[in-house]
Amino acid sequence: MLRQRLILISIPVIGLIILTTILGLWFLQVMLGRIQHLNDQAWATVDRTNQFNADVHDCQKVMHEYLSHPDQVPAADALVDSARDTLGLIAQSSVVKDNPNPDLTKAMRIITDGLPAFLQGVQDFPKTSGADARHTEAARLVMSAEPIEAAIGDLQQIVRDEARNEQRQIASSFRYGLLGLSIGFILILNMVILSFIRVISTVQRPMDLLVRTARSVDSGDAAGVDLDRDDEFGQLADILNRMAKQVQATEESRLAVLGQVATAMNHELNNAINIIELQLKLLSRQSDSPQIQTHIKKINETIQRMTRAVEALRQARRIVLTDYPGGTKMLDLQRSAESVSVEDTPATR
C-alpha cells in the first residue's frame, strides 16, 4: 500500500535524524565535560601554582627582611601552612599527578625534596637563639629557597602550557566535531530531498493519470485507465474504470434511443418532404411568376436543411449539448455527428 511505501521511505531518514541528534548531544556532552575539566583542573592548578609561588616567595621575603632588620624576629606560620596546603592540592591534581612530562616530574621532585625542610626552617626560625645563629639560619634559608623558587617557576610554566594545550585540543576537537555534524546534517538534508523527490515521483504520475482519466470520464469519454498497482491509486483506478464502463453503457443506451428517434423522424419527415416537393414541382409548372418561383426556391432550401438535420441526427456518435440564450440547452447536431469533444468546443454535456 502507498502508506506502507511512504513509511518505508521515511523510516531511514527519521532514523538518521535521530542518530545524528543523539551523536550531536553526546558530542556536546563530551565537549562540556572537557571544558569543565579544563576549568576545574588545568586552570585551577595554574591558579594554585601562582598562589604557591607567592607563598614561598613571601617566606623568602620574610628571611630577607630579617637580614635587613635583625632586631625583628618574624613569624610566618600562616604562610607556611598555606604553602603546605597548596602544594598538597597541586600534587593531587590530575594535571600534575597523571602527567608523564619529565620536566614536570623533575620540578616536582626538587620542590618536594627541598620545600619541607625550608618551610620547617621558616616555621622554627623564631625559636633559634642567638643573633649570629639567626643570621646564619636566615641566610641558609634564603639560599635554599632559590632552587625551590626556580622549580616553582618551571612548574608554573609547564602547567600553563598544559592548560593551553588542552584548551587548543578542545577547540580543535570542537571544530572538527562541528564540521562532522554539519556534514552529517547536509547528508541527511540531501537524503530528505531525495526521499521527497521519490515520494513526489511515486504520487505525481499516477495522480496525473487519474486526474486525466476522471476528466475524460466526466466529459463522456469511456476510456479507462491502465494502472496496475496494489495501493490506493490502484483502487481509485478500479473505481474510475467501473465509472467509465457505466458512462459507456449509459452513452450507448442514449445513442440507441436517439437512433430510434432519428429513424422515426427520418421516416415521417421524408414522407412529408416528398409530398411537399411534389406539390412544389406542380406549382412551379403551373405558374411562371418570378415572385412565386422565388418563394418555391426558399421552400426547397428549407426542405434541404431539414433533410440535412435528420441525416445528422441519424449519424450522431455522441450527445453534445450547446448553451443557447436564456440558459436553454439544445442538441448540437453537427458536433454530435462529428464526435467533437466537449473540451475542444464551447458545447457542454
Cell reading at 8: 518505508
**Mean pLDDT to the nearest integer, 278-305:** 82
Amino acid at site 33: G
**What residue spans define the domains of the chain?**
2-197, 232-314, 316-349
Contact assessment for residue 251 and residue 219, using Cβ atoms and an 8 Å cutoff: no
Q: Using the predicted structure, report yes or no on whether residue 345 has a pLDDT greater than 50.
A: no
**Mean pLDDT to the nearest integer, 312-318:** 70
Cell reading at 202: 511515486
* 34-51 pLDDT, tens digit each: 777 667 677 788 888 888
User: CA gyration radius for the chain?
Assistant: 55
Out of 3.20.20.70, 1.20.120.1730, 3.40.50.10240, 3.40.190.290, the CATH code matching 2-197 is: 1.20.120.1730
- By the 10 Å C-beta count (0-12 exposed, 13-18 middle, 19+ buried), 288 is classed as exposed
Residue 173's Cα: distance from chain center in Å?
26
Cell reading at 268: 415521417
Cα distances from 228 to residues 225, 237, 238, 244, in angstroms, run: 9, 9, 9, 17
DSSP element (H, E) containing 331: strand 328-331
Instruction: Give the ranges where the chain is alpha helix by DSSP (H).
Output: 2-37, 43-68, 77-92, 94-97, 102-124, 131-218, 232-286, 290-314, 333-338
Q: Using the predicted structure, report yes or no on whether residue 279 has a pLDDT greater than 50.
A: yes
Contact assessment for residue 316 and residue 258, using Cβ atoms and an 8 Å cutoff: yes
* 146-197 pLDDT, tens digit each: 888 888 888 888 888 888 887 888 888 888 888 888 888 888 888 888 877 8
Instruction: Quote the pLDDT of residue 6.
Output: 66
* 199-258 pLDDT, tens digit each: 777 777 777 777 777 777 666 665 666 666 666 777 777 777 777 777 777 777 877 777
Cell reading at 111: 620542590
Amino acid at site 201: S
Contact assessment for residue 314 and residue 262, using Cβ atoms and an 8 Å cutoff: yes
CA angle in degrees (0–180, nearest 5) for 255-261-267? 135
Name beta bridge partners: 328.
324
The reported pTM is 0.48
